[in-house]
Chain A
Amino acid sequence: MAPGFDVTSFDARRVRADTPGLNRVIFGRPITYLDSGATSLPPRAVIEAVSRYYELHHANVHRAVFQTAGEATAVYEGAREATARFINAPGGAGEVVFTKNTTESINLVAHSWGGANLGAGDVVLLSEMEHHANIVPWFELRDRVGVEVRFLPVGDDFRLDLTDLDRHLEGVKLLSISAMSNVLGTINPVKALAAAAHARGAKVCVDAAQSVAHDVTDVANLDVDFFAFSGHKMLGPTGIGVLWVREEILASMPPFLGGGGMISDVRLDGYTPAAGPTRFEAGTPPIAESAGLAAAVRYLEGLGMANVAAHERTLTGAALARLGREFGDRVRVIGPADLECRGGVVSLDVAGVHAHDVAQVLDQIGVCVRPGHHCAKPLMRRFGLTSTVRASFGPYSLAGDIDVLVEGLGQAIEMFATP
């Protein structure tokens, strides 16, 4: 289903022209947006889809019989279908739950599936490179029901150390792992890990927040059970996230939040939850955001995710080579050097200059990067760091962005160098 890499059909300069956020001028310089790992800039098609929804179709979903209410429902359910197609959901739209973001999606898994299926002594296996969003919900579950939370180690090569995988999988009922690290850029071997976990009878949850906008996603091929991601990191709007759940598991899961829209009946003595994904969508859902998400899906499909992946891999390779050439040991890349196992998230440790100070100097020439611990404090501790400067690419990134990044890094080093 994914198109092969075809240079003629993908042009990052055209994506750039489609993205109004890249027209900003910051302190007299054109914006250099290198924070797509935190959130991506939507193309005009997404912004217009949200506006068009509010201008023409806005009504509540699944309720009224008037014309626009039907249209709003069609928009919302259409987005569910587009999302299912984008990730190749084997069971279609009935497996796609809309949430607020990746974090809520993982919390939903922990509360609903975890609460119903895990108990004292059961093991949840994570990794040391997880975002806090894939750690804290499991600690909360531990505090509620007494599961054991265990971590796969990360090696000095910034990749998962799988030498003792069999031992780590003992007693595991759920493996919850990121497809791609938001700090290191490391792409994890999700399919192989899922096979190993399934062989032990464990379920597999994937935090795909970082991977879904940067490579082809095929949940059927990955053969996992839960798959969580956010709209705003894939050129869509904020306020909408996705949880894909394998159909037979979804059917067995108890509700997460209670309220309107998630029931099939409510009586004075109790209620019956709805079947299907709406069981997890209490209250008015993110309808306008779903219109934007569907537009983002169509836009990314037009680019071809294999093309996006190839483009970002080229840029990442260029960035790693250039940083090494310009700065040598003064700027250390905290992540794998091998382009085959990493994406376009490049974390940097600048010798003698704190990440916040680097980011401040970069801001002065319009460069947007993220300084800090990136909500991955266990990983930062693992490498003896408190913060890094993270530059991350999107489909609109160009080699010229690396030039401006290098210019700013040079200024920061010069400013803070001991005279």
Chain B
Amino acid sequence: MNNLDDLYREIILDHYRSPRNRGELPVPPALRVEGVNPLCGDELVLYLDLRDGVLADIKITGHGCSISQASSSLMSAAVKGQTLAKVREAIETFKGLMSVHASALEHRDAPIEVDLKRLGELAALQGVVKFPVRIKCATLAWNALTQGLDEAGA
């Protein structure tokens, strides 16, 4: 049986109620990227300040459910001030967490091949994969971040 407490961890509720890095950055120099989930109408906008191989600043606006909002907030805290290599690494690790779980849905006790320690607070989102319809909520911000980096050629 799915447990709601797996999904709505205290860290997630905290980031939902008090999202980090909310706001906008002047464009340019910042890059603006939109993420939209057409199925549920959730929308967010990322502002990325990329300079000298570093994601110097990130701000987020938009609206959505607790999972998409908390995931975007957790993401911003994890990648702000990081080198682009580290940002890409975080994206890969996070997406791995989502897809590993997704492919292991039929075997829920299968070992997770993602180093949760490297995820830090992001590991709080691992419960999302027990609720497959919510995975797209958690990945919305990350897909937008990927798109932004790709557009910037970073």
Which A residues lie at the B interface, using CB under 8 A?
27-28, 354-357, 360-361, 364, 371-373, 377, 380, 386-387, 415-416, 418
Asked, given contacts A27-B2, A357-B66, A416-B66, whether A387 binds B40 with beta carbons under 8 Å apart, the answer is yes
Are B1 and A28 in contact, CB atoms less than 8 angstroms apart? yes
Nearest residue (CB) in A for B43 is A386
Count chain B residues whose beta carbon lies closer than 8 angstroms to a beta carbon of A. Answer: 22
Contacts of B43 in A (CB 8 A): 386
User: Min CB distance, B107 to chain A, in Å?
Assistant: 20
Are A415 and B63 in contact, CB atoms less than 8 angstroms apart? no
User: Min CB distance, A252 to chain B, in Å?
Assistant: 38
Are A373 and B13 in contact, CB atoms less than 8 angstroms apart? no
Are B40 and A372 in contact, CB atoms less than 8 angstroms apart? yes
Contacts of B40 in A (CB 8 A): 356, 371-373, 387
11 pairs of residues in contact across A and B, judged by CB atoms under 8 Å = A27-B1, A28-B1, A354-B66, A356-B40, A356-B137, A360-B134, A361-B4, A386-B42, A386-B43, A415-B4, A416-B16
Nearest residue (CB) in A for B14 is A419
Q: Report Cα–Cα, A28/B65, bound state, in Å.
A: 26
Asked, given contacts A386-B41, A416-B13, whether A364 binds B4 with beta carbons under 8 Å apart, the answer is yes
Are A415 and B41 in contact, CB atoms less than 8 angstroms apart? no
Q: Report Cα–Cα, A386/B64, bound state, in Å.
A: 8
Is B39 interfacial (CB 8 A cutoff)? yes
Q: Report Cα–Cα, A121/B34, bound state, in Å.
A: 36
Are A377 and B41 in contact, CB atoms less than 8 angstroms apart? yes
Are B4 and A386 in contact, CB atoms less than 8 angstroms apart? no
Is B17 interfacial (CB 8 A cutoff)? yes
User: Min CB distance, A414 to chain B, in Å?
Assistant: 12
Are B17 and A364 in contact, CB atoms less than 8 angstroms apart? no
Are B131 and A360 in contact, CB atoms less than 8 angstroms apart? yes
Is B7 interfacial (CB 8 A cutoff)? yes
Contact with A along B40-71 (1 / 0, CB 8 A): 11110000000000000000000111110100
Give the interface centre of A356, A371, A380 by most chain B CB atoms within 10 Å.
A356
Are B4 and A360 in contact, CB atoms less than 8 angstroms apart? yes
Are B39 and A354 in contact, CB atoms less than 8 angstroms apart? no
Nearest residue (CB) in A for B63 is A386
Are A418 and B41 in contact, CB atoms less than 8 angstroms apart? no
Asked, given contacts A28-B1, A387-B41, whether A356 binds B134 with beta carbons under 8 Å apart, the answer is yes
Nearest residue (CB) in B for A371 is B40
Nearest residue (CB) in A for B69 is A354
Which residues of B, 1-57, contact A by the 8 Å Cβ criterion?
A: 1-2, 4, 7-8, 13, 16-17, 39-43
Are B41 and A373 in contact, CB atoms less than 8 angstroms apart? yes
Asked, given contacts A28-B1, A364-B4, whether A354 binds B65 with beta carbons under 8 Å apart, the answer is yes
| Leading 8 A-B pairs by shortest Cβ distance | A356-B65, A354-B65, A373-B41, A386-B41, A357-B66, A372-B40, A364-B4, A357-B65
Q: Report Cα–Cα, A361/B2, bound state, in Å.
A: 11
User: Min CB distance, A374 to chain B, in Å?
Assistant: 10
Contacts of B1 in A (CB 8 A): 27-28
Contacts of A416 in B (CB 8 A): 13, 16, 66
Q: Report Cα–Cα, A387/B16, bound state, in Å.
A: 17
Nearest residue (CB) in A for B3 is A364
User: Min CB distance, A362 to chain B, in Å?
Assistant: 11
Contacts of B66 in A (CB 8 A): 354, 356-357, 416
Q: Report Cα–Cα, A60/B25, bound state, in Å.
A: 64
Contacts of A373 in B (CB 8 A): 40-41
Q: Report Cα–Cα, A27/B131, bound state, in Å.
A: 14
Q: Report Cα–Cα, A314/B37, bound state, in Å.
A: 37
Q: Report Cα–Cα, A418/B40, bound state, in Å.
A: 24
Nearest residue (CB) in A for B137 is A356
User: Min CB distance, B68 to chain A, in Å?
Assistant: 8
User: Min CB distance, A357 to chain B, in Å?
Assistant: 5
